[in-house]
Amino acid sequence: MGAIAEAIANYAQPLLDETDGSAEQIKKAFTLAQLCWNLAVLPEEGRDEAVAEMQSTLNMDDDEFDEFRRSVILPMIRRHHDMFPGMHRWGLMERSTGAPVSQTHPTTSARTKKYPGTGRYEPCPCSSGKKYKFCCGR
């Protein structure tokens, strides 16, 4: 199994543990894990709206849905934040200034300088690890 598939399976493990082992139950557990994963990567403002829309789709009354949200959705979102903290840092805004949080990868403005004489398929002199054609040679 690949690293990504293994990470997803590890993330879904609490839901898989609740199944009877049948293919149908495992499929439902992975579907629910995928739903929770998608909710976890949404900004909190959008997440609340998406969770609220789920209730009518799942045909649950208020009490059933509140229990489902408390016992399944919220723990899986917390699990995602714990297991994949780096996924929740990209694109975050500082609340006080609205300025983006600094990123560790080079930005486009840092790569605007051209390197005349560099072959299109040679490594880019900016040390990005990319070919010149796909980096500063654009």
Looking at the structure, tell me whether residues 135 and 81 fall in a common domain.
no
Q: Is residue 21 part of a domain?
A: yes
* Confidence at residue 78, expressed as pLDDT on a 0 to 100 scale: 92
Query: In this structure, are 76 and 17 located in the same domain?
Result: yes
pLDDT of residue 108: 46
Return the number of other C-beta atoms located less than 10 Å from residue 9's C-beta.
13
Alpha-carbon dihedral of residues 10, 92, 127, 119, nearest 10 degrees?
A: 100
Query: Which residues in the chain come in under a pLDDT of 70?
Result: 89-115
CB 100 within 8 A of CB 90: no
39 lies in some domain: yes
Q: Is residue 95 part of a domain?
A: no
**pLDDT computed for residue 63 by the predictor:** 93
Same-domain pairing of 130 and 64 = no
Alpha helices, DSSP H, located in the chain: 3-17, 23-41, 44-58, 62-68, 74-83
**pLDDT at residue 103, as a whole number:** 46
Residues 9 and 75 in one domain: yes
Same domain assignment for residues 75 and 118? no
For residue 92, the Cα-to-chain-centroid distance in whole angstroms is: 13
Whether 98 maps to a domain, the answer reads no
One domain, residues 117 and 51 = no
74 and 46 in a common domain: yes
pTM, two decimal places? 0.61
Give residue 93's pLDDT: 42
Mean pLDDT score of the chain, rounded to an integer? Answer: 80
For 11, the token pair is 């993330």
Q: Are residues 83 and 126 in the same domain?
A: no
Tens digit of each residue's pLDDT (9 = 90 or more) over 96-111: 444 444 444 454 444 4
Sequence letter at residue 102: S
Is there a domain that residue 61 lies in? Answer: yes
d(CA 32, CA 124): 43
The answer to whether the CB of 36 falls within 8 A of the CB of 73 is yes
Instruction: Residue 79: give the domain boundaries.
Output: 3-88
Identify whether the C-beta of residue 54 lies closer than 8 Å to the C-beta of residue 47. Answer: no
Residue 14: phi, psi to the nearest 5?
A: -60, -35
Identify whether residues 112 and 138 lie together within a single domain.
yes
pLDDT at 122: 83
Query: Whats the size of the chain, residue-wise?
Result: 138
d(CA 97, CA 91): 14
Is 112 among the domain residues?
yes
Q: Answer yes or no: do 65 and 110 share one domain.
A: no
- Here the tokens at position 129 are 């690890």
